[in-house]
């Protein structure tokens, strides 16, 4: 179970027709319940790898097993269902809809997945309270601070109770205090709900808060 890749690669064709290998021969294993950092410099290919793991993008080489099932030839509809049910995403720019309310943002995965909205609303209330955002449900996301936005994004990632959380530079846009709080939240989520967490970051401090660090450089894993 967990995430297993073997010789994963991504090559894109540039506008001038030249192929460019963004990822090469990435073989990793992430066990269930682990909190893993993928660390690397800017441009190393971290985001690309995270997108492939989260079924947002597809690899051009190699293989990827998610919970033991190969995903290379997964139907788009099934991949979308998995993104909705199996993964929660936390992005550097929060990926929230700024002119909608906190609650509407949080419920979006439930709406898209056709889940029970009544139950989800209850769950959202509980999570908001847990993350210190009780009074924020009706507020527009646009008026929130960076730290608050990222906590909203975290609640949205958790609303469908997915086994995996994938985060791309989750502290990249936060001040150090909010960043520290965010990392505490990751640790808490993992401890209380046994989520498998993958955090992509260039920040050594963030990586150090994880169980294990995988290093990526120029599209390749460092030993």
Among Mg ion, ligand ADP, another protein, none, the one that 181 touches (CB under a kind-dependent 5 to 8 A) is: none
Give the β-pairing of 61-66 and 3-13: antiparallel
Q: Does 176 bind ligand ADP (CB under 6 A)?
A: no
Measured distance CA(114)–CA(112) in Å, rounded:
6
Among ligand ADP, another protein, Mg ion, none, the one that 24 touches (CB under a kind-dependent 5 to 8 A) is: none
155 contact partners, CB below 8 Å, separation of at least 6: 106, 124, 127, 128, 131, 133
Q: What are phi and psi of 218, to 5 degrees?
A: 50, 40
As measured in angstroms, the least distance from the Cβ of 13 to another protein is 12
Q: How many residues does the chain have?
A: 223
- Binding ligand ADP (rule: CB under 6 A), the pick from 5, 39, 47, 178 is 47
Cα distance from N-terminal residue to C-terminal residue, the chain: 23
Measured distance CA(138)–CA(1) in Å, rounded:
39
Q: Does 34 bind another protein (CB under 8 A)?
A: no
Segment contacting ligand ADP (CB under 6 A): 42-50, 71-79, 157-165, 175-183?
42-50
The first and second tokens of residue 184, run together, are 């505490």
Nearer to ligand ADP, 42 or 192 (CB): 42
Interface residues with ligand ADP (CB under 6 A)? 12, 14, 20, 22, 40, 42-48
Interface residues with another protein (CB under 8 A)? 47, 51, 56-57, 76-77, 79-81, 83-85, 89, 91-93, 95-97, 99-100, 104, 108-109, 111-114, 156
């Amino acid at each position: 179970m967990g995430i297993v890749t073997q010789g994963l690669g991504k090559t894109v064709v540039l506008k001038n027709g030249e192929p460019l290998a963004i990822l090469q021969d990435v073989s990793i294993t992430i066990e269930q319940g682990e909190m893993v950092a993928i660390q690397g410099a800017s441009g190393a290919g971290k985001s690309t790898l995270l997108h492939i793991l989260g079924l947002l993008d597809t690899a051009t080489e190699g293989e990827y097993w998610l919970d033991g099932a190969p995903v290379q030839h997964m139907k788009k509809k099934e991949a979308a269902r998995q993104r909705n049910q199996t993964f929660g995403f936390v992005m550097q720019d929060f990926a929230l809809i700024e002119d909608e309310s906190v609650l509407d943002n949080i419920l979006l995965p439930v709406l898209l997945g056709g889940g029970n909205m009544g139950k989800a609303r209850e769950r959202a209330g509980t999570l908001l309270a847990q993350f210190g955002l009780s009074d924020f449900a009706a507020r527009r996301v646009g008026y929130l601070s960076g730290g608050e936005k990222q906590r909203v994004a975290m609640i949205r990632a958790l609303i469908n109770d997915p086994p995996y959380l994938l985060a791309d530079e989750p502290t990249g846009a936060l001040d150090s205090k909010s960043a520290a709080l965010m990392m505490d939240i990751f640790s808490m989520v993992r401890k209380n709900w046994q989520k498998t967490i993958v955090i992509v970051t260039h920040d050594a401090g963030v990586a150090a808060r994880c169980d294990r660090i995988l290093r990526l450089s120029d599209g390749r894993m460092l030993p």
